[in-house]
Structure 1
Amino acid sequence: MKFIPSQLVYFFQDRRAQRNLHSLIRFILLLCFFIAVYSVLFHILMEMEGQYHSWITGFYWTLTVMSTLGFGDITFTSDIGKLFSLCVLMSGIVFLLVMLPFTFIQFFYAPFLEAQTKSRAARELPEETSGHLIIIGSDIVALSLATLVQQYNYPYCILVNEVNHALDLVDQGYKAVVGDSDNAETYRRLRTDQAVMVVALSDDMKNTNAAYTIREVSADVQVVTNADSEESVDILQLAGSSHVFQFMRMLGEILARRTLGTGTRHNVIGSIKNLNIAEAPAADTPFVGRSVKESGLRSATNMNLVGLWERGRLVPARPETVITSRSIMILAGTDEQLEAYDAYVGEAPPMEAPVLILGGGRVGQAAAQVLSQRNVDYKIVEKNPELIQNDTHYVLGSASDIGVLKAAGIDNAPSVFVTTHNDDLNIYLTIYCRRLRPDIHIISRATLDRNVSVMHKAGADLVMSYATMAANTIINLLSPGKVLTLTEGLNIFQVEVGPSLAGKTLAESNVRAETGCNIIAVSRGEEMEVNPDPKRPLDKGAALLVIGAAENEQRFLDRYGV
């Protein structure tokens, strides 16, 4: 009941509702006119028959006849009176039983229900709202970002321009508001001057308009935009964007950095301050066939082995876990420790064949540029002639054609990147490449998060989600070092030491056994202790860097989050 006044206010402020209400009032006035005329004619005809009744009786008779109740206590005896009764009865059927319900539903009840529904979609935020994130757009990146900020308890809202779309998002559990992204009044209602950040995830032209409009309202709020084309970066910055990202390009660069065997034994895939996270293939190293405890890695390099990748599956690095030739070790350490690791295991064998890239779009071309900078040879398979450049790195044809793949070097390629924008095609190509080369290292791109597990099952060694990568990039702007995605489903995240961990040592906390996560560093102010001493007590308020799979991360936050 407490929402009815707000719904009525919204209803009466709507112009279409006002027009409908005027139509309903006109119909009711017309109905009242007929009732009044019939009552006057009732008195005239009754007096002609010698019957006399009050005006109240006249209205009473008119309404009972028009509504077909017909009590029969007052009747005409003449034919003209009976004919008049029939006219009143028939018009009553038309007006009261047909037109009145239809008009009421059409012009009042249905619009009111619509207004009631629309009132669920907010159009502004409370005046006291501050420190919130505004997301413009509702694509997969926007929804992934909204899910992530909910997990880390950031206040946010998603701005869309259609009420029905906003209601769909509300029904899915998101906080959506309705408004036009090119209207300054929208950003005033969303308290943009008190927001911590606005993220625009539409196309380049809409993002430019939004950024310029936002600057009319607030000169200080951070504005983050996505640029589809290289040419749009400068324009978006001129329009007022604080940060401009080319997420497609970033994804290609991240995929390329996952190439193994580029002259060093390790491959850095992420860094936070002086802490590096690296992947290292176990093949051709002294660790193969040994357990983590027997490997002697920590004594030789003072570095932790925090996990093992086994064909897309994260295996916790427990003391008894055996390292196989197919394992990819996840190492956490400083630059010096990683150099010590390379010296300990010896130089990696050089690549004897080009890396294969399936798809020559923005992601594939960005990956190729990184490989070129690392002096790694590559071949791009692309079936669209317009994307083919005039050099020897391109092979024209379909990646599903075995002849094209063999011409590109599938038989000898150490790695293959599957980079098309179609998840169904990526799954198809992953299965195909795995059947052709059971030993090849497959890295695949996923557009939708729900397809990540399917790609792993199809045979991909590593999968990177476009949506998750972009969302985590924005989260790290909100809180630097908060989360770093190593691969889809494996994150490094930062959390403060709360009461449940304060004063305990890592050995006493038993974090790994209870949550499946590893604490790889402790940050105390400017000092970061990488691979911390398990016997040193944790100080309340210190920052922990924790690595774990997505489900383990949630388990850790539920148990130890501040």
Structure 2
Amino acid sequence: MIIFHIRRLYFKIAKLNNWILLLSTLCLVAFSSVFVHAIEPKEFPTVFDGLWWTLTTMSTVGYGDYAPKTTEGRIYAMFLFVVGIGLLGVIIGKFLDLFSVMRNRRERGLLDYKGTNHIIIIGWSQKAYFAIREILSRNSKHKIVLVDEIESNPCSENGVVYVQGPPALDETLLRANITQAKAVLIFSDDKIQRSTLADGKTLLIATTVERLNSSAHSTAEILDESHLKNFTAVHVDSYILSQQSISKMAVEKIGL
């Protein structure tokens, strides 16, 4: 019966707001440090000694260098065993959950990129992969942000940050910190079979990039040379028409 009530108590504690939980734990530690010093000044000469005992008890380390001798002190120690250890365990569990959630959001490209002077690569494909490798082979310190609509980061290269979302939308590019980027590479969407539609999507993305950051060096891949005239109104620094060595050419276009 007692175990049942303790479990119910832990479940209620786990549902508390994180800040309330943290504040409650700090208050418990502070109160316990002062209280045990007050009721057993011989065993705990200073408040710091009480703090040391409280933390070693709550963390289940229990060095044994300090221990309450009076009945009151031992009763409070039993209370601290039940409540304090459980409270600390819940906090540790919540922090681990938070790290797990953050890692999952990072892998899914749901976090905003805060860096500056980076290179944005739009559109994941084998060409984009080779472009990333080409950039990093020239300077491994380059910061790269990959933008695509895939559910999770498709690139295994270290240092490549993924941002998920439609690349033609302001919201997606702003999450990739487009305003602080130094270069943008726009690759044609391989999933679109018709060159007219693929180049149309590239044009839409290039227009958004130009509007948000006209100073960034932009390079766009175009499948059909006859579509070049449609890009005259958009300030794109360079175009790539050839399918051969396209990744290397794209990197060379931005002057790396």
Query: With structure 1 as the length reference, what TM-score do the two structures score?
Result: 0.26
Query: With structure 2 as the length reference, what TM-score do the two structures score?
Result: 0.50
User: Which structure has more helix as a fraction of its residues?
Assistant: 2
Choose 1 or 2 for highest CA Rg: 1
